Amino acid sequence: MSSRQKIAIVSLLAASVFLSVSARALAAQIDWKKDWEQTVAAAKKEGQVSVYIYRYEGLLQEFKRDFPGINIVTVAGRGNELTTRIMSERRAGKYIADVYSGGPGGNYNVLYKGKALDPIKPVLILPEVVDESKWWGKEHRYIDAEGKYVFAYLASPSDAQLSYNSTLVNPKEFKSYWDLIQPKWKGKIVSLDLRDGGLGGTMQFFYYSPELGPEFIKKFFRTMDIQYAKNFRQITDWLGQGRYAICFACKDSMKAKNQGLPVEDFDTTRWKEGSSFSSGGGSLSLPNQAPHPYAAKVFINWFLSRRGQIALQKLGDVDDSPNSRRIDIPKDDLLPANRMVADAKYFDVVKPEYADQKPIFDLLKEIMAAVEAKK
């Protein structure tokens, strides 16, 4: 066989492989587009999607503009309230929620463990959503060990929910979380009640960090004569008024700062133990027996798309912009504190091995019982 013949055969084989690959790619593109069009058409027939959502309902107007044929009904509230409500409704035989968005604690410990979820992974259709290279760490991060039920869509660097009154505290004095347990701060700290379900991410960091652990939790929350309250707005007001110097879980801290109060969040990224990042209030799940399954599928794909996650960052919380785990969208509008720092030390709490918070909340209940026994 001549050299020219060999080259011709190789060229034909290469062309055949190219055409085969191209045909498969074209078929796949046709398949997802057909699937998407059918899903959207079915969703419009359903006419409605019911979204139970914590904190980021501001972005939902964008969905209404993109899909005017699908009415979006929202039930907004704190994560622990919403997951409790969903389970109560289900016990009464009412299946109302199509989609739930909230903190990973309630999503995993209440809905997932309560077997109230369908896998979310199979409903992902849009290629830009399915493509894991577009997400932080080049992966889809699921909270559950099965890797398909609870989708984490935020990568929020954490200040450990620690805030301070800037007229009473010099943040340069703090190089470690253990600095919070100095005698000078005893009786000058206020905190949200530790049994509140919204403390999950920070408590996971405290509990599982090898440099902190249960011992830090016990010493900080049990020995510092902390004032506890059940309303985070109240403790934020107390911090702003100067009644307390340091606050744990003042969730309205940046809103208070924007109103001119002397409130700041600690920058813990340079502390000895580093900081953490979590999904905060940002995990998504698909309740089973949803009344509008096609509309739920459309909403989930839109929400996790570039457009949906850009809307999340811009409109989700104007006082405390969330950082999407998507890495193919602009981050310019985020507050500097909400952007991941390339050389910072982070403890990633959004892993299945940290999802079970029962031992943590058992410890917190024990601490609160001891605190109340002193009164």
Name 357's Cβ contacts closer than 8 Å, sequence gap at least 6: 105, 108, 109, 200, 203, 204
Are both 366 and 237 inside the same structural domain? yes
**253 and 333 housed in the same domain:** no
**Whether 314 and 333 share a structural domain:** yes
Q: Which of 229, 285, 239, 294 is nearest to 262 (CA)?
A: 239
Is there a contact between 198 and 104 (Cβ–Cβ < 8 Å)? no
**Predicted pLDDT of residue 25:** 41
Residue 59 tokens read as 């972005």
pLDDT of residue 196: 83
Q: Could you tell me where the beta strands, DSSP code E, fall in the chain?
A: 48-53, 71-76, 99-102, 117-118, 141-142, 151-152, 156-158, 162-165, 189-192, 227-229, 246-248, 263-265, 275-278, 283-287, 346-348
* pLDDT of the residue at 157: 83
Secondary element (H or E) of residue 35: helix 3-46
pLDDT band at 201 (very low <50, low <70, confident <90, very high): confident
- Does the pLDDT at position 115 exceed 90? yes
Kindly state whether residues 181 and 247 are assigned to the same domain. Answer: yes
pLDDT of residue 346: 86
Q: What share of the chain is helix, strand, coil (3-state, %, to 5)?
A: 50, 15, 35
- Encoding tokens for residue 3? 């050299």
Q: Is residue 173 part of a domain?
A: yes
Is residue 319 a part of any domain in this protein?
A: yes
CB atoms within 10 A of CB 200: 28
Same-domain status, 313 and 191: no
What is the band of 21 on the pLDDT scale with cuts at 50, 70, 90? very low
Q: What is the pLDDT of residues 141-178, one digit of tens each?
A: 999 999 999 999 999 887 789 999 999 999 999 999 99
pLDDT score, position 7? 66
141 and 179 fall within a common domain: no
The number of folded domains in the chain is 2
Question: Can you give the CATH number for the domain in which 146 is found?
Answer: 3.40.190.10
Same domain (yes/no): 119, 70 = yes
Of the listed ranges 51-65, 122-136, 182-196, 351-365, the least confidently predicted one is 351-365
Give yes or no: residues 228 and 95 share one domain.
no
Q: Does pTM top 0.75 for this prediction?
A: no
142 shares its domain with 42: yes
For residue 274, tell me if it sits in a domain.
no
The three-state DSSP-derived secondary structure of 78-103 is: CHHHHHHHHHHHHHCCCCCCCEEEEC
Task: Please check whether residues 240 and 119 belong to one and the same domain.
Answer: no
DSSP 145: T
Instruction: Give the number of other CB atoms < 10 A from CB of residue 210.
Output: 7
Q: Decide if 334 is inside a domain.
A: yes
Same domain, 315 and 367: no
Residues 47 and 146 in one domain: yes
Which residues have C-beta within 8 Å of that of residue 270, sequence separation ≥ 6? 175, 344
**Residue 64's domain spans which residues?**
35-156+279-344
Is 25 contained in some domain?
A: no
Q: Is 271 within the bounds of a domain? A: no
Cα 86 to Cα 96: distance, rounded to the nearest angstrom: 8
